[in-house]
Chains A and B, each alone.
Chain A
Amino acid sequence: MDALSAVLQGLPMTIVLTLSAFAIGIVGAVPLAVGLSSSNILVRLACRLFVDLVRGVPIIVWLFLLKFGIQIGTFKFNPVGAAIVGLGVVSVAYLAEIYRGGLQAVPRGQGEAAHALGLTRGTTFYGVMVPQAFRIVSPSIATYLTGLLKDSSIASTIIVAEMVFQSQSFARQHPTVEGILPYILVGILYIALSLPVAYLSRRLDSRMRKAVYA
């Protein structure tokens, strides 16, 4: 089927975009989340400003700005680079906010107990706070990942050849009823990709719950 093979051509790019941006976000959000709950008001304000700025502007605008608005010497973003950086930075901001919520949801007594035992700040953070916060936020992270998967389609607007871009070009070449076909297929593919994420997240969540209460 022509429509299917056209859409499938975009599948690897969709996956690359999603996973790269997610990887950037997962790692980059850690220092930002720490900054968001810093006791230093300047650090906290700077981080808050960054998060609100990034989240306040639609992804499509960021992608256009990165693709067409940035030129440093001879350096310009290629479409894929702009898409990965743009989606990555947006992910950093959203995930940092999710992490911060998780860290704040850990009961205050946990940090106090750790301090009273004489654990260092680093050990308290990575050994006590983060593992508990992760249990709290893992469903939210999975939800964000499925959202990101679908948002990666916005990269089609800056000519990144992912699934929606391929659907559009197929539709343009087949201006008949057949032109609607790739969109149906791409919809099904997005669902097919999100289901395992949701499934794995639920499995992980219930396994961690069992670990704590078993």
Chain B
Amino acid sequence: MTLSEIADGKLAPRLGIKLDNISKRYGDNTVLDDVSLHVEPGTVTALIGPSGAGKSTFLRCINLLERPDSGTIQVDQHTIEPGKDVNSRDLAALRRTVGMVFQSFNLFPHMSALKNISFPQQKVLGRSKDEADERSMQLLERVGLKEKAHQHPGRCSGGQQQRIAIARALALDPSIMLFDEPTSALDPEVGLEVLAVMRELAADGMTMIVVTHEMQFARDVSDTLVVMADCRIIEQGDPRAIMSDPQEARTRRFLRAVLER
């Protein structure tokens, strides 16, 4: 069984997502300036760019962890205008459709790995404990951590915690997965085990949006490379094309800094 076959046991539909004219400011400080991004179902989009460009904020706007001041988000049949009041049904639908993995894992430290994955299934999808645990064990096995099921996150390495966090998000059958610098808190060797899981997920056709500094991953795995700088998307397209022949001077400068170190 592949990761996403497990992830979409109830055949979560492949969905894309359309973000249009997303703007966000904190006081006088603009962090996102009219950003639009359309993601096709089953594709992997890598978001790269210098720090402070607004990559993470943009990603967090997609599932409304940050509330944009204006713009629209279209996913499935739902159109959400975050600048206006968002009703709780739309918000719940959005969060069910979109799973998220954080830089700092954010596993619940007072629950075992198994419970971390089962608890949200029981609460959000109304699965019974047995159903949820069965699904959790399948996912743990797929990310190679079956033996960690009854350990608390504090006893797991960073790479293990991140893989558990991925399993936790997949357990809710999301159609789209967001990754916010999933390997940045890990040392490079440990990061590989997480990237391996993500590659597999991408190969299975999961729609993914990944904020990353892993240029090789961005080049090899993503279908679309999006370069952000100064609160805007400055360039997007085929990753190999952009990396070998960037059109913007800012992109060139950034790529030189990250590729030639």
Contacts and interface: CB of A to CB of B under 8 A. Distances in A.
Contacts of A119: 120, 123-124
Contacts of B106: 107, 109-110, 112-113
Contact of A127 (B63, B123, B169): B123
B169 A117 contact: yes
Contact of A117 (B104, B109, B154, B172): B172
B30 to A, nearest CB: 22
B127 interface: no
A5 B98 CA distance: 69
Interface class of chain A by DSSP: helix
A128 to B, nearest CB: 6
A113 B98 CA distance: 12
B123 A123 contact: yes
A72 interface: no
Contact of B124 (A113, A118, A211, A213): A118
Contact of A116 (B63, B123, B154): B63
Contacts of B107: 113
A212 B110 contact: yes
Contacts of B65: 112, 115-116
Contact of A112 (B102, B152, B169): B102
Contacts of B154: 212-213
Contacts of A12: none
Nearest to A208: B110
A214 interface: yes
Interface residues of B, number: 27
A131 interface: yes
A212 B152 contact: yes
Given A112-B65, A123-B123, A214-B155, A118 B95 contact: yes
Contacts of A113: 100, 102, 106-108, 165
A117 B166 CA distance: 11
Contact of A109 (B102, B119, B152, B155): B102
Interface centre among A112, A211, A214 (most CB of B within 10 A): A112
Contact of B152 (A116, A120, A127, A213): A213
B258 interface: no
B24 interface: no
Nearest to B100: A116
Given A110-B106, A113-B165, A119-B120, 11 more contacts: A107-B106, A109-B106, A113-B108, A117-B95, A117-B99, A117-B120, A118-B120, A118-B172, A127-B119, A132-B108, A132-B109
Q: Which 3 A-B pairs have the closest CB atoms?
A: A113-B106, A118-B95, A109-B106
Interface of B: 63, 65, 92, 95-96, 98-100, 102, 104, 106-110, 119-120, 123-124, 151-152, 154-155, 165, 168-169, 172
